[in-house]
Structure 1
């Protein structure tokens, strides 16, 4: 098996990746979190989301009640912080400490528009194989989602996001080998589906252009 994994090193990287995974993920703070470069921050985020999931799914905490309690706690902390700053030589909190950077919204705006363009291109059916793969993926996700609540499904997706990248980076050669075999089998099935199904779908006659 080791020889097979050695051959995987000569194969093209997963999804055609030619750069380090950290660079592919943006090379910034998000990449550090997903690849556990900053273990304390990554662990804190996982713990935070886990607590939220336990509160809503296990303890069945109401969202509005929880939101109000959080806002009440923040107001109380700011009240104590602001009024005790002069007595304990703390820095007085300012409104700028609570503002969200404009770049955060710009980042999500750019990514959302990119996803919409990709979704539109796939939906046009220019690549029929990719179209049916995405449709099948949505169907599988919808089937899986019927067995979980929305919050649990989002929590499972979040756990995959913070565990799969670092596991892939750690066991890259093994994953590349298995992915190359799976990719080969998938292409063979898609080619068979293309020849047996897609090519047999009747299409309208193509009108020849008249030349003057």
Structure 2
């Protein structure tokens, strides 16, 4: 009877960080304004972004607004408010409204682009390593997760999927940062169980597959 347990399965084994990371979660997310928003360290911006995206999702998906129509109505409303405000200020000698010419500076977009580029390259590199079979346990987990995602995709529109991804980005990093120790503990247990299942599958199935005799290469 094969023994599927090993020293790595022992509870006393030092736990590794989720996905094998060595840096804190804030550093992984870029460590700048993007990390502040995702970890809710800048609560006003995070709340405003979440509220705005939720309103847009409700307008497009629930109220079935057309993008061009919504953009036109918002622009008309904004222009009317600014016109009435400026006209009233000039007529009643009030202070004119101070309207910013720009909301986000160039560095914010540059930082976001750099963070996205770095994370995309890391994800692509990990995907290639898993697909090449360098991490067999993760290979089967990835196949299973992608299959589940394909099934879920049949019940979601593209807009709903984008909104779901946004909600995950706004909640999962924050919750993980808050309950990191608990997540690492349960993730470690799950990883050990997956490794046991793979070793069992390898021993009972893969190793029992008949293989042809290895042909010796003829010397020239």
- TM-score, normalising length: structure 2: 0.68
Summarize the Cα distance change of 1:158–1:114 in structure 2 as closer, same or farther, 3 Å threshold.
same
What is the CA RMSD across the aligned residues, in angstroms?
A: 4.1
Residues in 1 aligned to 2:218 and 2:88: alpha-carbon distance in whole angstroms: 82
1:144 offset after TM fit, Å?
Answer: 1.1
1:25 aligns with 2:10: no
Matched, 1:14 2:18: yes
Structure 2, unpaired ranges of 5+: 1-10
In structure 1, the gaps of 5 or more residues are: 1-6
**CA distance in 2 between partners of 1:206 and 1:34 (Å):** 57
Summarize the alignment of residues 1-212 of structure 1 with structure 2, pairs less than 5 Å apart.
Answer: 11-73=15-77, 88=95, 97=102, 101=106, 103=110, 106-107=113-114, 110-111=117-118, 114=121, 117-118=124-125, 121-122=128-129, 125-127=132-134, 129=136, 130-195=138-203, 196-197=205-206, 200=209
Which residue number in structure 2 is paired with residue 4 of structure 1? none
Deviation at 1:131, TM superposition (A): 4.0
CA offsets 1:28-65 (integer angstroms, 9 cap, x no match): 11111111101111111111111111112221212232
Greater per-residue helix proportion: 1
- How far apart are residue 81 of structure 1 and its match? 8.5
Q: CA deviation at 1:182?
A: 0.6
Larger Rg: 2
Q: Distance in 2 between matches of 1:170 and 1:157?
A: 20
Query: 8 Å contact 1:25–1:31 — kept in the other structure?
Result: yes
| Equivalent residue pairs, number | 202
Distance 2:44 2:135 in 1: 44
- TM score, norm. by length of structure 1: 0.71
Question: How many Å separate the matches in 1 of 2:181 and 2:111?
Answer: 35
Deviations 1:77-131 (A, max 9, x none): 677789999984556865xx37973726852773486168427724862437244
